[in-house]
Amino acid sequence: MIIDPHTLDLWSCLPAPEEVPEEVSLLADLQSALSLCRPLPSRYRIHQASPAWAPHFWDLLSTIRAGQTITYGELCRLNSLTLGYARAVGHLLSQNRYAILLPCHRVVPADHSTGHYRWGSERKRLLLDYEREHPDEI
């Protein structure tokens, strides 16, 4: 299922309750993801407008485990891009409208500082600290 924020009408996306097994309910998964600071299960894809080279980056974010970080440069290498793309990747991730669902806070600069974060460096640090302390809860 692809979720497009421009056309998102949650109720029209969901079949009647009797047609949806409890374990596949999008609404329940979204509520769980947001309340527990967990990424959205991989069976869902979130669509964000981005350059042609970028969609794979959104998918990669959900593979970074809670409590771990990766640098922008490492993320580039995973996508066979040169280190020169690191700033472009940083800019791309700054456009992420789904901060907890697509955990861009787990991507850090080469010096492993929090760097800049759309919702504030302090919030990014708190998220990372929480995930390091409670990796099994996420």
Give pLDDT tens digits for 57-102. 888 888 898 889 999 999 999 888 888 888 988 998 998 888 777 8
Contact predicate 37/127, CB 8 Å: yes
Tell me the two tokens of residue 121.
């460096």
> Does residue 15 carry a pLDDT above 60?
no
Instruction: Name the pLDDT band for 23 (thresholds 50, 70, 90).
Output: very low
CATH code, residues 50-137? 1.10.10.10
Looking at residue 110, its pLDDT comes to: 94
List, as one string, the DSSP characters of 3-54. E-TTS--HHHHSPPGGGS-GGG-HHHHHHHHHHTT-PPPTT-EE-----TT-
Whole-angstrom distance, CA of residue 42 vs CA of residue 91? 24
Contact predicate 106/138, CB 8 Å: no
Q: Which of 103, 114, 97, 113 is nearest to 138 (CA)?
A: 103
Looking at residue 20, its pLDDT comes to: 47
* More confident site: 61 or 15: 61
Looking at residue 9, its pLDDT comes to: 56
Question: Which of 3-7, 63-67, 103-107, 130-134 has the weakest average pLDDT?
Answer: 3-7
Q: What percent of the chain has pLDDT over 70?
A: 66
State the chain's maximal CA–CA distance in angstroms. 51
Instruction: Tell me the domain boundaries of the chain.
Output: 50-137
> 73-110 burial string, b = 16+ CB within 10 Å, else e?
bbbbeeeebeeebbeebbebbeebebbbbbbbbbbbee
Q: Around Cβ 127, how many Cβ atoms within 10 Å? A: 21
Enzyme catalytic residues:
104
Prediction pTM value: 0.68
* More confident site: 83 or 35: 83
